[in-house]
A = this chain, B = another copy of it.
Amino acid sequence: MKNFFITGLLLFISLASGQELRSPNGEFVLSFDIRNGGVPTYNLTYKGKPVVKESKLGFELQKDQYSLIDGFRVSDIKTSSFDETWKPVWGEVKTIRNHYNELAVTLQQDKADRQMVVRFRLFDDGLGFRYEFPQQKNLVYFVIKEEKTQFAMAGDHTAYWIAGDYDTQEYDYTTSKLSEIRPFMAKAVTANVSQTSFSPTGVQTSLMLKSNEGVYINLHEAALIDYPVMHLNLDDKNMIFESWLTPDVHGDKGYMQAPRTTPWRTVIVSDDAREILASKMTYNLNDPSKIDDTSWIKPVKYVGVWWEMITGKSSWSYTNDYPAVQLGVTDFTKAKPNGTHGANTANVKRYIDFAAEHGFDGVLVEGWNVGWEDWFGHHKDYVFDFVTPYPDFDLAGIRDYAKSKGVKMIMHHETSSSVRNYERHMDEAYQFMKDNGYDAVKSGYVGDILPRGENHYSQWMINHYQYAVEKAAEYKIMVNAHEAVRPTGIARTYPNLIGNEAARGTEYQSFGGSKPNHVAVLPFTRLLGGPMDYTPGIFEMDLSKLSPSNNSHVNSTIANQLALYVTMYSPLQMAADLPENYMRFPDAFQFIKDVAVDWDDSKYIEAEPGQYITAARKAKGTGNWFVGSVGGEQARTSSIKFDFLDKGKTYIATIYADASNAHFKTNPQAYVIRKVLVTNKSKLSQFVAPGGGYAISITEAGKDAAKGLKKL
């Protein structure tokens, strides 16, 4: 009888567990409920059809702590709405609307007297939800063994996926049914200098999916702060993804202290692929900028002493005298130069001249600082000091020369993943940058992480990347971190994070090549969390012409390369090829010179993951538009309207397109350029070669300039 009364009492004070939340436009319905044994679940429908079927929520805990999996009841429910419009410091659009309905469910776990909140935000483009652990007596410090968040798929969708990995995202995408992930996994895991697979059905976010019914679904996370990266592991019998966090050296997956929250888990959904590309949900789930004065944060178009090393034409290192070097011990002034060092003063000045002549903002130089002789693969702790140039890099002379030419030098900090060493030198390195006129840094994390046992995406490292960005902000330094964690919209909060690599970039075109449709996937996945320093603009696809021993081929046409400046949105865009290669194709190069890097508006005109993307963007503070279109492995015809242009105005459109016989493999440099007049009534039907694309620059037609031009 006693038990009966207690149960009755609990039932009495329990709130009805089933809850529903609708998106502002009513197209999404999120349902939350407590199932057998007190297990919290949710499901999501879109236009009346299931997108995420009933899926469990919770955590398995380490260290003998009772898990946060079952025994829950709903003790409080709060709903609210939010609608704001904010201005990004840089971006695809001038303003972003952040509009959602919210449901916060407080879950009471009576057995342990603990509370956990699940907060759902339903936008017109999808769902974000996170866990929150309020301050309380019985849940203070805890260690996550595994987050058990499920995403139960409604079918055997097509997935555009890369293999789950604790150390690299630099894989080509595989397109397959969910049921094919397992058989395709072995082939999907290609070689990388640091990589750690974990499951035959483990994949990375952001994961793009398409249902048989033509619904596009993207699974990712937002606001990843001091928490391990979430991978997704597929139960491929039931098509249920479950979160799989990146462990630390002990297999622990998150050291937590309440009060705190997890990152947001996101489900972006649309039956129009273009809406996925246009989604700003990931940014909206991040906090507003914590940098008050953002006037020093500026988009950058740049060239650099980089591709020549990547292709093997020159070297990062200065000397071949020693089997290994030691900073502070090795006397580089007495070493014999190897004659291949790219970052020598004369060569750097050549790039500065080139940048100045063609209107680039900056010049990146890699290999300028001592330590490159044995920088990689040795777990070397004191590998770089970030402030000591090689003898042939005249730091002061280059600094003054660049300044005289109106060009900004871009710093390079390769850490070799010796992370303690980087943190030890970070203040001095940032101050050194400011003292020498560098406002932006490209950082790198090549190789296995030091401290040993940590991975690129474990909580320890997520904490580090954030530390580097926040400290850079103190120095008014912009960061472009390579091999770091893929972004999750944090650039809203720290807009000095102007770029990341965190995916397979153009460098892989020199390491064996990437799939020709790679760039038609990235905007659906990697770019949703933030911009990528993809380093496009390669004009010479036969890399043996740069370096005889390099047999790699760039799987792209020149027109495709031009289109990337528009389709791969980034406030940081490199013209990656060598000056001499641009000078061979000055008419095509003109587009790179003209294209903007910051925008007032963006329109996605055509989109299908892995097949094509066509985007039009309006250059910041102007009436000019730029269009980019990339295809996939097959040729196609792109059909677009120019209805995004102002009514009644006539524009000059310069179209940089694949020649009819162009092909990424056999004829990548065949392009045609034509100038035509367009209005907002114009339409274009444009051939796109295999691995090809096209780019258009559109300027308002001055009377003189328009003379003699035909209408499209």
CB <8 Å contact, A452 and B250: yes
Which of A141, A249, A323, A454 has the most chain B CB atoms closer than 10 A to its own CB?
Answer: A323
Chain B residues with CB under 8 Å of A385's CB are none
**Which A533-584 residues sit within 8 Å CB-CB of chain B?**
none
CB <8 Å contact, B378 and A141: yes
| Interface membership of A324, Cβ < 8 A | yes
| Interface membership of A423, Cβ < 8 A | yes
CB <8 Å contact, B255 and A381: yes
Selected interface stretch from A132-140, A172-180, A217-225: A132-140
Chain B residues with CB under 8 Å of A137's CB are 323
For the complex, what is the distance from the CA of A451 to the CA of B459, rounded to whole Å?
11
Chain B residues with CB under 8 Å of A374's CB are 140-141
Which of A143, A380, A424 has the most chain B CB atoms closer than 10 A to its own CB?
Answer: A424
CB <8 Å contact, A249 and B452: yes
For the complex, what is the distance from the CA of A259 to the CA of B451, rounded to whole Å?
23
Instruction: Give A244-271 as 1s and 0s: 1 = Cβ < 8 Å from B's Cβ atoms.
Output: 0000111010010111000000000000
Chain B residues with CB under 8 Å of A141's CB are 324, 374, 378-380
* Given A420-B420, A423-B424, residue A381 in contact with residue B463 (CB < 8 A): yes
Looking at chain A's contact residues, is the secondary structure mostly helix, strand, loop, or mixed?
loop
| Interface membership of A460, Cβ < 8 A | yes
CB <8 Å contact, A249 and B136: no
- Contact pick for A140, options B255, B324, B379, CB 8 Å: B324
Q: How far is the CB of A473 from chain B (nearest CB, A)?
A: 15
For the complex, what is the distance from the CA of A206 to the CA of B612, rounded to whole Å?
70
Q: How far is the CB of A624 from chain B (nearest CB, A)?
A: 45
* Given A423-B424, A424-B467, A453-B452, residue A255 in contact with residue B323 (CB < 8 A): no
* Given A381-B255, A451-B453, residue A135 in contact with residue B249 (CB < 8 A): no
Instruction: Give A414-445 as 1s and 0s: 1 = Cβ < 8 Å from B's Cβ atoms.
Output: 00000010011001000000000000000000
Chain B residues with CB under 8 Å of A323's CB are 135-137, 140, 258
Instruction: Give A91-127 as 1s and 0s: 1 = Cβ < 8 Å from B's Cβ atoms.
Output: 0000000000000000000000000000000000000
Q: How far is the CB of A478 from chain B (nearest CB, A)?
A: 21
| Interface membership of A322, Cβ < 8 A | yes
| Interface membership of A326, Cβ < 8 A | yes
CB <8 Å contact, B453 and A324: no
For the complex, what is the distance from the CA of A374 to the CA of B140, rounded to whole Å?
10
Chain B residues with CB under 8 Å of A420's CB are 420, 423
Nearest B-chain residue to A451, judged by Cβ: B451
Chain B residues with CB under 8 Å of A453's CB are 248-250, 451-453
- 6 A-B interface contacts by CB (under 8 A): A140-B324, A141-B324, A259-B326, A259-B329, A420-B420, A424-B467
What are the 9 closest A-B residue pairs judged by CB atoms, nearest first?
A451-B451, A249-B453, A140-B323, A141-B378, A453-B453, A140-B324, A249-B249, A255-B379, A249-B452
